[in-house]
Amino acid sequence: MNDRDCVDFLQYVLPGLHLRWAGFRKVRRQVCKRIQRRCVQLALTDVQAYRRYLAAHPEEWSVLDGFCRITISCFYRDQGVFRCLEQTVFPALIQSLRRQGEQVLRIWSAGCASGEEPCTVALMWEFSHALLFPDIKLHILASDADATLIGRAGRACYTPGALRELPASWRQQAFRRNNGEYCLLARYRKGIEFMTHDVRKGLPDGPFHLVLCRNLAFTYFDEQLGCELGAVLREGLRPGGGLVVGAHERLPAGLPGFEPWHPCPAIYRRVPAD
């Protein structure tokens, strides 16, 4: 399957999955390889034959949907976002927590892939806040629609490249090398709960003080689905809670109930909807 054929195929099928081509343009090769393997598995000659197979077998659309999950991730991705979480958002959330007499800071990492994002948050908490706020506990619910990725997240062992953006001191203290991988020590992931969950299927048990939904809904989902999911994420947040999106993402125009959390890039505060 050449690139042109795959592009034509994706531009045809993505709207049927409420996904948008613009989000997949630069990362399409990951999806194309999966589709090619599926054609071989089904003994189909080309992607046009797969298109006809989809028409004859509607259940195959759910299989195709699984091929469209982009798994690119790394620790401390978009450093400016994490610095703002550390220096601005977390202190504000902790103050709010204490005013309400609560002791558990609840976070949801939606679309967590192999766990790089929630583990980064846990490390940030451990090295920047845990000693300052010993009365506050951290609980992170980390979810992804791909059960295989959740299995890898539970194992918490990563290639050196996945850790390249982490502060060196964090990497040295929190990981141990094992057979060419870096494995996160158990003490640094004790507050993380992993679960298989598709963000499009609704909210897990909440509400949350902070939701991270980065490089997922507002990159790959079409405008209608993005707006619907934005409303769901808003309902999953405590008043005054924060929503973190990708550094190059923006919330859908007209989505009520959020305001930019200045001076933080890609972070929004939940406010009462009009």
Domain with CATH 3.40.50.150 in the chain: 79-270
CA torsion, ordered 184, 187, 193, 194, to nearest 10 deg: 20
Please state whether the peptide bond connecting residue 265 to the residue before it is cis, i.e. omega within 30 degrees of 0: no
Task: Say what the pLDDT of residue 132 is.
Answer: 93
Is residue 273 pLDDT above 70, yes or no?
Answer: no
243: which DSSP letter?
E
Say which CATH class 79-270 falls into.
alpha beta
> Which residues are 269's β-sheet partners?
242, 259
Tens digits of residue pLDDT in 225-254: 999 999 999 999 999 999 999 999 999 988
DSSP 3-state assignment of 69? coil
Strands of 137-144's sheet in order across = 192-196, 137-144, 104-110, 208-212, 237-244, 267-270, 258-260
Residue whose structure tokens are 């531009």: 11
**Residue percentage of the chain with pLDDT more than 90:** 95
Is residue 272 pLDDT above 90, yes or no?
Answer: no
CB within 8 A of 81, min separation 6: which ones?
214, 244, 247, 264, 265, 266, 267
Is residue 274 pLDDT above 60, yes or no?
Answer: no
Lowest pLDDT segment from 107-111, 162-166, 249-253: 249-253
Task: Provide mean pLDDT across the span 183-189.
Answer: 96
Residue type, position 158, single letter: Y
Task: Say what the pLDDT of residue 69 is.
Answer: 95
Tens digits of residue pLDDT in 37-67: 999 999 999 999 999 999 999 999 999 999 9
